[in-house]
């Protein structure tokens, strides 16, 4: 999608303590289905072609953590800036860093295009789509300032000092302010040059600064509900559900090409609205960066009446891991066993699961590994088992639940 011709940079305030969230870890770093919340927001901007840089305000103690996140996820557009004590201070520092850089770097061509557009977006609003960013950027190009708004959910009351109703505001002529917001660099820089000490310490609304200090009336742009902000701990549940709905792209790889089981797993995933690609055998597969989940189906069988130990199958698992090294992906290994496993097999499985759990390092990278073991037996029909195994595999892919990392599920 092309948006505007002017250069566009983003500012992400992410230096808050999240007091209302009530957790030792600030909300922007809390895990959403195994990945830090801020990573979703960073990726939502990194993937937009017309956004050139993302300036992120971070408190000093989180610099190392975010630097690792940047290198692991190849977030090439991100520049870190030390945050301030308030949201306005954090944004101001980023705006001044952009201004200093633009003064130095702007080519004649860029200058002709006009003042760059600065998108300001809270790091704790992880699910904004390209269209919403584009709508505010375009509106800022035309009107110098703009902001995403949604209708009010509840009526807003103004309250007297002693706690009585003063008046109820008319819902239809008020709106809730969200981010992204966008400004020309000239406007947002001037607004922060002139900001009062009181606003810097207590204020939170950038659109208001543009009005007060530059006389610029922001264009308000209706936005989808997904721009909502993670504020309280309960918001994590909504964020996890939304994250699951978005962006699950799975590849199903079967050791033996397509089988009844692999076909059924694909069908289950599609019914969860998961995008599925069916790969060939593991040896000749390439996994593109968009894939974020792989289901590997192994067949553990008796060949010529000689039972191979289950540990043989793990060679395939390890090659899957080396394939996934550079991909942000979870791995669900489904092992179809045509024989009863021995105690030794179980021991191997447990040891391998432990080893893989450590190497998947999920705390930092968001990678998860699960095992689903299907022991065939005569008591239950293959069709029933295939559907049970498929439902479980699809659920694991869909849920991306970090507490399930390294677990072995045995069916039927």
d(CA 231, CA 27): 8
Compute the least distance from the CB of residue 311 to ligand CTP, in Å: 47
CB of 263 to ligand CTP, least distance (A): 44
Which residues lie across from 54 on neighbouring strands?
10, 78
Tokens 């295009």 -> residue:
113
Nearer to ligand CTP, 229 or 355 (CB): 229
Kindly report the CA angle at 165 between 163 and 169, in degrees rounded to 5?
130
Residue corresponding to tokens 């593109």: 288
Beta bridge partners of 26: none
With b for 16 or more beta-carbon neighbours within 10 A and e for fewer, the 347-382 pattern comes to: ebbeebbeebbeebebeebbbbbbbbbbbbeeeeee
The residue among 84 and 279 lying less far from ligand CTP, judged by its C-beta, is 84
Q: Would you count residue 57 as binding ligand CTP (CB under 6 A)?
A: yes
How far, in Å, CA of 140 to CA of 117, rounded?
Answer: 7
Candidate segments 80-88, 310-318, 376-384, 395-403, binder of ligand CTP by CB under 6 A: 80-88
Nearer to ligand CTP, 148 or 389 (CB): 148
CB of 20 to ligand CTP, least distance (A): 3
> How many CB atoms are closer than 10 A to CB 48?
21
d(CA 289, CA 327): 6
Two tokens, residue 351: 């040891």
Residue 85 structure tokens: 């004590």
Q: How far apart are CA 390 and CA 405, in angstroms?
A: 18
Q: Residue 294 and residue 277: Cα distance in Å, rounded?
A: 10
**Which one among 3, 7, 8, 28 touches ligand CTP, defined by CB under 6 A?**
28
How far apart CA 317 and CA 28 sit, in angstroms, is 33
Which of positions 325-364 make contact with ligand CTP (CB under 6 A)?
none
Nearer to ligand CTP, 28 or 132 (CB): 28
Q: According to CB under 6 A, which residues from 113 to 152 bind ligand CTP?
A: 122-124
Which lies closer to ligand CTP via its Cβ, residue 13 or residue 366? 13
Residue number with CB closer to ligand CTP (243 or 349)? 243
Residues 83-102: x where in contact with ligand CTP by CB under 6 A, - otherwise, as a string: xxxxx--x------------
Residue nearest ligand CTP (C-beta atom)? 16
- Taking the complex as a whole, the smallest distance from the CB of residue 384 to ligand CTP amounts, in Å, to 48
Q: How far is the CB of 28 from ligand CTP (least distance, A)?
A: 5
CB under 6 A: which stretch of 19-27, 238-246, 297-305, 351-359 binds ligand CTP?
A: 19-27
Contacts of 366 (CB under 8 A, 6+ apart): 33, 34, 35, 36, 39, 328, 330, 402
> In angstroms, what is the minimal distance from the CB of 62 to ligand CTP?
10
Segment interacting with ligand CTP (CB under 6 A) among 16-24, 242-250, 280-288, 333-341 = 16-24
Q: Which is nearer to ligand CTP, 135 or 181 (CB)?
A: 181
Nearer of residues 125 and 300 to ligand CTP, judged by Cβ: 125
Contact pick of 17, 202, 350, 358 for ligand CTP (by CB under 6 A): 17
Give the number of residues in contact with ligand CTP, rule: CB under 6 A: 22
User: Of residues 3, 8, 9, 13, which one binds ligand CTP by CB under 6 A?
Assistant: 13
Q: What is d(CA 409, CA 58) in angstroms, rounded to the nearest whole number?
A: 40
Residues 6+ apart with CB under 8 A from 112: none
Backbone angles phi, psi at 91, to 5 degrees: -65, -40
- C-beta of 39 vs 341, nearer to ligand CTP: 39
The counts of H helices and E strands in the chain are: 14, 19
In angstroms, give the least distance from the CB of 117 to ligand CTP.
20
- Binding mask 226-255 toward ligand CTP (x if CB under 6 A, else -) reads ---x-x------------------------
- Interface positions with ligand CTP (CB under 6 A): 13-21, 28, 57, 83-87, 90, 122-124, 229, 231
């Amino acid at each position: 999608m092309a948006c505007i011709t002017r250069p566009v940079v983003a500012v992400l305030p992410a230096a808050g303590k999240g007091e209302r969230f009530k957790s030792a870890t600030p909300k922007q770093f809390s895990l959403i289905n195994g990945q830090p919340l801020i990573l979703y927001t960073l990726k939502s901007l990194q993937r937009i072609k017309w956004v050139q840089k993302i300036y992120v305000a971070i408190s000093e103690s989180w610099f190392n953590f975010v630097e690792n996140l940047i290198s692991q996820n190849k977030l090439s557009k991100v520049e870190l800036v030390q945050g301030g004590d308030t949201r306005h201070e954090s944004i101001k520092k980023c705006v001044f860093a952009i201004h200093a850089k633009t003064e130095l770097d702007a080519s004649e061509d860029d200058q002709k295009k006009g003042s760059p557009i600065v998108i300001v977006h809270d790091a704790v609003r992880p699910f904004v789509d390209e269209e919403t960013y584009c709508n505010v950027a375009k509106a800022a190009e035309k009107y110098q300032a703009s902001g995403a708004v949604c209708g009010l959910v509840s009526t807003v009351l103004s309250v007297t000092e002693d706690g009585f109703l003063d008046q109820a505001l008319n819902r239809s002529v008020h709106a809730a302010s969200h981010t992204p917001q966008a400004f020309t660099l000239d406007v947002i820089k001037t607004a922060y040059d002139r900001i009062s000490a009181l606003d810097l310490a207590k204020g939170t609304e950038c659109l208001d600064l543009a009005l007060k200090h530059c006389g610029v009336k922001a264009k308000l742009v209706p936005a989808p509900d997904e721009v909502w902000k993670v504020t309280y701990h309960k918001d994590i549940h909504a964020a996890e559900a939304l994250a699951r709905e978005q962006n699950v792209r799975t590849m199903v790889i079967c050791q033996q090409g397509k089988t009844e089981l692999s076909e059924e797993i694909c069908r289950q995933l599609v019914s969860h609205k998961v995008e599925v690609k069916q790969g060939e055998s593991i040896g000749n597969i390439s996994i593109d960066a968009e894939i974020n989940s792989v289901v590997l189906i192994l067949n553990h069988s008796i060949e010529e009446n000689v039972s191979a130990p289950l540990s043989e199958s793990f060679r395939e698992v390890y090659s899957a891991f080396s394939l996934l090294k550079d991909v942000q992906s979870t791995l669900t290994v489904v092992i179809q066993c045509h024989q009863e496993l021995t105690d030794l097999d179980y021991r191997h499985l447990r040891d391998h699961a432990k080893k893989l759990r450590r190497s998947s390092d999920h705390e930092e990278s968001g990678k998860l590994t699960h095992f689903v073991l299907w022991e065939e037996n005569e008591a239950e029909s293959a069709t029933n088992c295939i559907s049970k195994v498929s439902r479980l595999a699809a659920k694991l892919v869909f849920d991306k639940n970090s507490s399930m990392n390294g677990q072995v599920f045995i069916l039927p």
